[in-house]
Each structure stands twice: as C-alpha cells, then as structure tokens.
Amino acid sequence: MNTSRSKKITHVDASGNPRMVNVSDKMITKRVAEASAEVWLGREIVSHLAGQEILTKKGPVFQTAVLAGVMGAKKTSELIPFCHPLAIEDCDVRITLIGETAHIYTKVVTTGKTGVEMEALTAASIAALTVFDMCKALSSQMVIGEIALISKSGGKSDFRRKKKI
C-alpha cells in the first residue's frame, strides 16, 4: 500500500474547505520537535567575526537571532492560520558557524494535545531571517537554505529524519 496516498489531509473538511483540526479528543502527552536551518554568509560577512559572534551596526547577530527564534516559536499560532496556540515549556535555539555557514538548531517542548513541529520550524526560519536582516548591509549574497524538521515525538507517530536533505 502506498502510504503517501492513504494519508488523509487533516486541514480540510469533507467539502474541501479549510478548517482547524479538532484536538479535543487527543491525549495530553509531552511533545518535542527539532528543526534546523542554514544561512550561507560568505567571506565578506564572516570577516566581521569576533570570537563566535558576528558584530554589525545593528548588534550581535547570533544573539539577536536566538531571541528572534524564541519569539517566533511563541507567536507561531498568530502566523500560521491553523496552528493551535500552545503553552511552550522550552525553546532552545542554537547557532553554530561552520566555515561560511550559520547552522541553526531549534528544539521546542510542550505538554499538550498537539505537536510543536511548526513552532520548531518557525523558530529556525525566523532565526535565519534575522541573521539575513542583520547582515544584509554587509552583503546581499547570503542564501537561506535547508529549513527542515529533524524530529518529532510524543504524538500519534514519531519521526526522525534519516538523512540530510
């Protein structure tokens, strides 16, 4: 059986109209999701490195992007139409510079009836966009890429990405 065709699209009703998923009958469990994003910066931007931080006129790039990522996770339900508002219990955003690429890792945790995949992906995306915004005066050659869900657990099914995209 082809599982990709047997899975039901959850955010539409029987008539094909968009709708929020009813989670009232779901079990309350600990939900965890991890996501990642990458921003290729280039030599011009990396030359502004001071220790493990890039400093611009706007301030410390990675520290600001971490804060923005956490804020993004907390506001996901305001940005994505059918995301349920969640009480986020933990949000970890880390940025590591390897060569000319900023690697962003996020992990979001809640205890509830629905997962935090979108919150983890939003945190990674907003952190990447913040890095771009803070560095764009130095160079517009940056590339945001490979935003991906790494794993999720605690719901009906667990997931772990097998390989890099």
**DSSP symbols for 43-77:** HHHHTTEETTEEEETTEEHHHHHHHHHHHHHHTHH
Which of the following is catalytic: 13, 25, 90, 133? 133
Alpha carbon distances (Å) from 44 to 60, 76, 146:
16, 33, 22
- With 0-12 / 13-18 / 19 or more C-beta atoms within 10 angstroms meaning exposed / middle / buried, residue 1 is exposed
| Nearest partner of 92 among 112, 70, 111, judged by Cα | 70
- 90 tagged catalytic: no
Helix axes of 61-74 and 117-135: crossing angle, nearest 10 degrees: 150
Torsion of CA 142, 146, 151, 157, to 10 degrees: 140
Q: Which of the residues are catalytic? A: 133
